């Protein structure tokens, strides 16, 4: 099968289009013929080696974390899916590889594709949808009447998280450029701060939850918009000791992550705020709940551009510009 692979860790290094063996099928696996794959900044970070200490992929490996396609074969213990099913997923860490013609995934990571979405639209959802779900529902327990600040509202996670937060009954503030204001308002944002003109920490106060996706400076400023007892949840780091424990990292890495997050954890404690890091995980059951929200019209995908499979490198370069509104997808089949 054809696939785009990482031959060596390298910042902005080109992926190579290679002929790779079709993946082996384990007892609990479904083999999926890939029709479309979403691209994420995570792909760029994995390729550059930023996550090598916690996600040690050994080159040569296939990149890609979002998939939509059709089940062609199932393992002997699979009960949820059958050949012909249209599915989507974010394959678990250690088994990524959606920039290809086929992928084998554990059935626990997979969900039936929303009936009202095309393959390209469905491929845009899993990683950002699960990230937003795990931050707002699982970790923050966001409730009706609460206030949430979602950074970068026009990005992949932002466009999904705004819609989910509104569904949960929260008041939503976000940052966006002037050109993206109408988009984020159409998704349900109540307060939109033009980050080129205004400083969010001077505008917002008394918030229950912040979803941080930006740099260390923005993370620290986010503390000031939260009320005592509020939750600052970061998907861009730094990882905290709890994450290190859950990942089962070695003693050295646990110590490194403790030191990396020491400053923000200390500042959060001083402000009476809870800081935590979230690195989303594959979860087919949660994805099925997201499917229900999409099929009922509560959440819609926000797409920027679709590239042909052959232009995967160009698509990833476009994602890296940070200018995409919503998601970028490659059409594999």
Nearest to 200 by CA among 158, 165, 150: 150
Alpha-carbon distances, residue 55 vs 73, 94, 177 (angstroms): 28, 7, 33
Buried b (16+ CB within 10 A) or exposed e, 132-156: bbbbbeebbebeeebbbbbbbbbbb
pLDDT lower than 50: segments of the chain: none
pLDDT the model gives residue 44: 97
Element (H, E) at 30: strand 29-39
pLDDT the model gives residue 53: 87
pLDDT the model gives residue 167: 98
SS3 104: strand
pLDDT the model gives residue 92: 98
First to last CA, the chain: 12
pLDDT the model gives residue 41: 95
Residue whose entry in the numeric block shows the structure tokens 């932002």: 158
Rounded to an integer, what distance in angstroms lies between the CA atom of residue 273 and that of residue 318? Answer: 36
Preceding peptide of 60 cis, ω within 30°:
yes
Which domains, ranges and CATH numbers included, belong to the chain?
2-124+301-331 (3.90.180.10), 128-277 (3.40.50.720)
pLDDT the model gives residue 296: 98
pLDDT the model gives residue 229: 98
């Amino acid at each position: 099968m054809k696939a785009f692979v990482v031959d060596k860790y390298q910042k902005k290094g080109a992926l190579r289009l290679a002929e790779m063996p079709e993946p082996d099928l384990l007892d609990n696996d479904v083999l999926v013929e890939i029709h479309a794959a979403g691209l994420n900044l995570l792909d760029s970070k994995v390729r550059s080696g930023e996550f090598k200490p916690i996600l040690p992929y050994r080159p040569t490996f296939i990149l890609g974390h979002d998939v939509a396609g059709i089940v062609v074969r199932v393992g002997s213990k699979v009960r949820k899916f059958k050949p012909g099913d249209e599915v989507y997923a974010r394959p678990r860490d250690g088994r990524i590889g959606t920039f290809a013609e086929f992928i084998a995934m554990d059935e626990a990571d997979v969900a039936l594709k929303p009936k009202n979405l095309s393959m390209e639209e469905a491929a845009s959802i899993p990683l950002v949808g699960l990230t937003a779900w795990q931050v707002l529902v699982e970790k923050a327990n966001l409730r009706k009447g609460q206030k949430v600040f979602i950074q970068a509202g026009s990005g992949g996670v932002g466009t999904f998280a705004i819609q989910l937060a509104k569904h949960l009954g929260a008041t939503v503030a976000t940052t966006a450029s002037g050109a993206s204001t109408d988009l984020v308002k159409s998704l349900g944002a109540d307060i939109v701060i033009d980050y080129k003109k205004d400083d969010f920490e001077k505008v917002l106060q008394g918030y229950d939850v912040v979803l941080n996706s930006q740099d260390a400076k923005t993370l620290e400023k986010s503390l000031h918009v939260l009320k005592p007892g509020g939750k600052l949840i970061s998907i861009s780091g730094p990882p905290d000791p709890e994450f290190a424990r859950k990942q089962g990292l070695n003693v050295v890495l646990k110590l490194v992550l403790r030191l990396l997050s020491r400053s923000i954890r200390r500042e959060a404690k001083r402000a009476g705020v809870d800081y935590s890091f979230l690195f989303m995980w594959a979860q087919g059951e949660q994805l099925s709940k997201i499917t229900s929200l999409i099929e009922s019209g509560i959440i819609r995908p926000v797409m920027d551009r679709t590239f042909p499979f052959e232009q995967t490198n160009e698509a990833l370069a476009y994602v890296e510009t940070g200018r995409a509104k919503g998601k970028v997808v490659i059409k594999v089949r």
